Amino acid sequence: MKQRMMMAALLAIIASPVCAATLSGAPRILDGNTIEIEQTKIRLSGIEAPETDQICLDAHGQKWACGIAARDELIKHSNGRTWDCHTTGVDVYRRSLGNCFIAGEDVNAWMVRSGWALLSARSAASYAIYEVVASNAYAGIWSGAFIAPWDWRHRNQSTIIIGASSVPSDVQELLLGSALLTDPPSQECLIKGTVGRKGERIYHLPGQNSYEQIDMTKNLGERWLCSESEATALGWRKAAR
């Protein structure tokens, strides 16, 4: 009972107005979910964009780095403009949770409407129509087949694959095969993230002693990362050597 009370108190603090703030500026975009303004990392609320290491299938059944594409489309849409982000609370990685706007346009909603993100469990009900619009238009990741970002992080052979009405017969092997991430999704994403025995998330840079010995097909908890800023924003720490 005492533990439950402590957890309830912690959640109340996290969600309290004390954690609320408004930040403005041209952001550094780390991935389709995460930006940085004035050294504050902000997680876009209510949406789930593909992870930067995530692979999808396009309209022709070919593999593509949809997580990198989602990030790059957000960078293109931002185009160096000023964002206004209203934050309330933090997530498990201590990122501020925020709704962001560019000249009054809801960026979170734009990501869903353009097919570069899905609704999360905490999304606004008004966003639902945007996901329908994106799926009907085969926009973004809806152009082919993909795994929901929350399932991608914990995928296995029974993970559901969604998207286009017709997919290749070998879709399971293409998106769930053990050798899927043997190579990085992009040549800019060369950082290796590994999970230790106690669940500790550690990233390894090219040139570090352990880098070449890491087999990225061995454990699905392992992933490629594109920058140290992205890694730290997602709760990874740098390997000692």
The tens-digit pLDDT sequence of the chain (241 residues) is 334 334 333 444 344 444 588 999 999 999 999 999 999 999 999 999 999 999 999 988 899 999 999 999 999 999 999 999 999 999 998 999 999 999 999 999 999 999 999 998 777 788 899 999 999 999 999 999 999 999 998 888 889 999 876 677 788 888 988 677 788 999 999 999 998 888 899 999 999 998 999 988 877 678 999 999 999 999 999 998 8
* Domain ranges, ordered by start, for the chain: 2-177, 180-241
Residue 33: φ, ψ to 5°: -110, -20
CA distances from 37 to 86, 91, 97, 176, 239 (A): 12, 17, 13, 35, 26
Helix (H), strand (E) at residue 99:
strand 96-102
Full 3-state SS string of 48-65: ECCCCCCCEECCCCCEEC
Count of CB atoms situated within 10 Å of the CB of 187: 7
Contact 189, 225 (CB under 8 A): yes
Give the predicted TM-score (pTM) of the model: 0.85
Q: Which fold has domain 2-177?
A: OB fold (Dihydrolipoamide Acetyltransferase, E2P) (2.40.50)
Helix (H), strand (E) at residue 152:
helix 149-152
